[in-house]
A = this chain, B = another copy of it.
Amino acid sequence: MNFNEKLKYIQHKNNSLLCIGLDIDIQKIPKHLLKTENPQLEFNKVIIEATKDLVCAYKLNLAFYEEHGIKGFETVQKTLELIPEGVITIADGKRGDIGNSAEKQASAIFNTQNFSAATVNPYMGYDAVEPFIKQPEKGAFVLNITSNPGSKDFQYLKVNGKPLYQLVTMKCKKWNVNNNIGLVVGATRAIELQKIRSIVSDMPFLIPGVGAQKGDLEASVRYGCCHDGTLAIINIGRSIIYSSMQKIFSSKVREAAKHYQLQINYYREKYFSKQ
């Protein structure tokens, strides 16, 4: 199966478009875990155990682990081992470099760490993305329009009447010969999301920004999905993982994840039901 087929498969199997962002800030986790040998890992264990049947993917922002040095690197490895086969694992590192260096970046993420997908920055062009899409079963999510305030600095600049972000969309469409490129589209950008979906009907979108960043969940589902109500990956981090500071927090986390899964499925039903 190529990456997009793998994604569709797990979205059907778990009936979920939810991706949980495991961007673990140890300042924010229940305090009793700080006494354990590896608080990030112990926290991830609980989150994954509580939610693994409710998600299509987990996304790890690598910087949250890199900050902890060697131990952080180990935590990434051990966290990946806890995630069930078939669930998509996204290395969120915003990589991309000249050809021979991008080869090493992709190898670090796909071979050394065994993630199933990576986020990639388009600024350096095709040869910065290409090493990430060589293996059809591995996916590359290219930054298209991001959820942060700084997205206005360059992504909206007009080139021959079209904003730069749309040119990125069109290039990615052209590059997608292995059917394993996806786009990162912020949930705070509903209008742009609709526009981008109109350009690429069948590419997966990784949609961060719902929850703490106040992105629009309904629009994310409505415009993020392709015609059959799949291929949107709705990433939610802080609003799920930090649901409780209590010693026993797994049920609260499961409840929050379940809430988002159902909410997403409610909108899928509303906009993509066959009847």
Contact = CB atoms under 8 A, between A and B. Distances in A.
Interface stretch (A10-18, A32-40, A121-129, A250-258): A121-129
B73 A69 contact: yes
Contacts of A73: 69-70, 73
Interface stretch (A104-112, A197-205, A222-230): A104-112
Nearest to A68: B112
Contact of A127 (B104, B108, B148, B171): B148
Interface string A167-189: 11001000000000000000000
A51 interface: no
Interface stretch (A1-9, A79-87, A155-163, A267-275): A155-163
B124 A148 contact: yes
Nearest to A97: B94
Interface stretch (A59-67, A133-141, A239-247): A59-67
Given A104-B63, A147-B98, A123 B123 contact: yes
Contacts of A154: 122-123, 125, 164, 167-168, 171
Give the number of times this chain occurs in the complex, counting copies. Answer: 2
B101 A61 contact: yes
Nearest to A158: B159
A66 B108 contact: yes
A122 B105 CA distance: 19
A149 B126 contact: yes
Most chain-B Cβ atoms within 10 A of its Cβ — which of A92, A102, A154?
A154
A63 B124 contact: no
B70 A70 contact: yes
A107 B67 contact: yes
B122 A148 contact: no
Contacts of A67: 104, 107-108, 111-112
A171 B102 CA distance: 26
A248 B108 CA distance: 30
11 contacts: A61-B97, A66-B105, A98-B146, A122-B153, A123-B155, A124-B143, A124-B151, A127-B150, A158-B159, A159-B159, A164-B164
